[in-house]
Structure 1
Amino acid sequence: MCAHILVAEDDEMQAELIRRLLLQEGHTPVVVHDGRAAIDEAVRHRPDLVVLDLMLPKVDGLGVCRVLRENGNIPVLILTARSTEDEVLLGLELGADDYMTKPYSPRELLARIRTVLRRTLGPADPSPVLRVGGITVDPARHRVTCDGAPVTCTPGEFAILHAMTAEPDRVFSRRQLLQHTRGHDRASTERAIDVHIMNLRKKIEPDPHVPVRLLTVFGIGYKLTGQPS
C-alpha cells in the first residue's frame, strides 16, 4: 500500500531517517520542519497520513492537529518526547489516530504506519448495484444488463448510464453528461453525447426510434426513467 505521507519533524536527522524508511516501503514522503509549513502542505496537498512531531516551531503539533481536523479527516500519527498522559490524551482527543513516544524503534514506527493506512486506505465498500426499470448497472464489475440480458458498453456509454441510473428521472444536460465522460472520452464534445445516447438506445430500447427508457427532454437534455410511458 503506497501512500503520500507528510513528515513534520524539526529534528533534521530524525526527519531524514523517517523519509528513508518510508521510501524503502514504497511511500512518497514529503518533509517539513515547522508547524506552519506542515499546515500549508497538508491543506494544499491532503496527504494520506501525517507523521507529526509535537515539538514543532512556529505552530506546535497540537496546533497543527487542531487545524487538520478543522480541514478534514487526514490521519495523524503523533511522535512525542513528552510521555505524560495528559499530552497523549490531548493529542488523541484532537483526532490523532495513534502516537509513539521517542525514542522509538524504526520497525515499530513502520508497523504503526501500516496499521493506520490499512484502516484509512483499506478497500472501500463496493459501489452499489443500480437498478432502474429493467436496467441494471454494476459499477464494481463494469457490467450492464437490460431485462436480464448482458449489454456491452463503451467506457463513455457506461459512464453516462452509470450517472443516469444513479439519479433516475433527473434531466441531464449534454454538458453535465460530458463531465461524466471526461475520464473516458478525452476528445468528447457535447455533440458526441448525442451519439452515445443514440448508441445506448440501440442497446436498451425495445425500439430505438421510439424510446421509452432513455428520453429526450427538448431544449434541456436527457433522462433515464424507470416508468416507461
Structure 2
Amino acid sequence: MNKTQRVEPVKHIFVVDDEKSIRDILKKYIENEGDKVTLFDNGSSVLAEITRMKPDLLVLDIMMPGVGGMELCKQIRKTSDVPIIFVSAKGEELDRVLGLELGADDYLTKPFSPRELVVRIKNIFKRLDKGYSASALVKLQDIELHPDRRLVQKEGQEIKLTSREFALFEFLAAHRNLPFTRDQLLQKVWGYDYTGDERLIDDLVKRIRKKLAEHDSAVQITTVWGYGYRLDA
C-alpha cells in the first residue's frame, strides 16, 4: 500500500533478532505496509528504548546471545503490556506455552512467511483498535470490564491480563452464558485467517482462570466437554 493512501496511524514496531537477513526482510515487509521499524540485533538495549521510543509492537527472537527473548519479554511485562510476537526456531509445545505464559501475544516458528507475520501484526492492531473504540462498561458479578481502558477490576483492584487474555475474556464476557468451540475462539481472538493450534485457547483459559481465582472472583469460565468454553456470569 502506498503510504500516501494509508488512513490508519503509522505504527512503530521493534524487530529484535540476531540474524541480519531476518531483520532486513522483516523490515522491508513491515515498512511496505506503511509502518515504522526499528531494528535490534540483541535484547540488551531494548528495555531502555521501549521507555524512550514507546513502540506499538515488538517482534522478538527467542534464541539470542546475551539477553534472550524469553527474559526480555519477562522484563518488559513488568512495566508494559505492549503486544509481543515471538519468532523462534524452537517449535516445541513447551516453548510456545512458556512464551504465552510470559505474556506474548503470538508465536511463529522459523522458517515462516514474512507475509504471515504481517497478517498477524495487522490482526493484533485490528483487535486493539476495535477494543479501544468500545466504551460500554460490562459488569459480571463481582467483575467490571472497561473495554475503552482495556481494564478488568474486582472491587477496584485490577486483574492484570495480557492483550490476548483480555481479548478472549472480553469476547466471552460480551457473549456470556453462550458456548464457543476452540476454533471459533481462535478466529475471534487471533483473526479470521489464523490457522493455529487450538491448544492456544486452552492455555489462555488456564491463565485467565488462575488470575480470577487469585482474586477470589465468582466469575467462571466453564469447560463445555467435547465442545469448548463459555463464561458463566
Q: TM-score per shorter chain, which class?
A: 0.5 to 0.7
How many angstroms apart in 2 are the aligned matches of 1:31 and 1:122? 28
State the match for 1:67 in structure 2. Answer: 75
Whichever residue aligns with residue 38 of structure 1, its letter is V
Runs of 4+ in 1 over 3 A off after TM superposition: 125-128
**Residue 53 of structure 1: aligned partner:** 61
Name structure 2 gaps, 5 residues minimum. Answer: 1-7, 137-233
Amino acid at match of 1:96: A
Q: Secondary structure at the match of 1:47?
A: coil
Task: Evaluate the alpha carbon distance shift between residue 110 and residue 17 of structure 1 in structure 2; reply closer, same or farther with a 3 A threshold.
Answer: same
Q: TM-score, normalised by structure 2?
A: 0.52
1:70-109 deviation per Cα after TM superposition (whole angstroms, max 9, x unaligned): 0111100000100111111101000000010000012111
1:208-219 correspondence to structure 2 within 5 Å: none
Q: CA deviation at 1:6?
A: 0.5
SS in 2 for 1:70: coil
Amino acid at match of 2:120: R
Deviations 1:126-168 (A, max 9, x none): 678xxxxxxxxxxxxxxxxxxxxxxxxxxxxxxxxxxxxxxxx
Is the contact between residue 86 and residue 99 of structure 2 (CA under 8 Å) also seen in structure 1? yes
Match of 2:19 in 1: 11
Q: How many Å separate the matches in 2 of 1:97 and 1:104? A: 17
Aligned position for 1:23: 31
Does the 8 Å CA contact 2:29/2:115 hold for their aligned counterparts?
no
1:103 aligns with one of 111, 118, 129: 111
Q: What is the aligned residue count? A: 128
Letter in 2 for 1:89: V
Does the residue aligned with 2:15 lie in a helix, a strand or coil?
A: strand
Alignment of 1:1-229 (within 5 A): 1=8, 2-122=10-130, 124-125=132-133
Change (3 A) 1:17 1:70: same
| CA deviation after TM superposition for structure 1 residue 123, in Å | 5.9
Return 5+ residue gaps in structure 1 as ranges: 129-229
The secondary structure found in structure 2 opposite 1:52 is: strand
State the SS of the aligned residue for 2:77.
helix
Matched position secondary structure for 1:103: coil
TM score, norm. by length of structure 1? 0.53
Question: How far did 1:46 drift?
Answer: 1.8
Q: Distance in 1 between matches of 2:22 and 2:94?
A: 24
Corresponding residue SS for 1:50: strand
Match in the other structure for 1:164: none
Contact persistence 1:43–1:71 (CA under 8 A): no
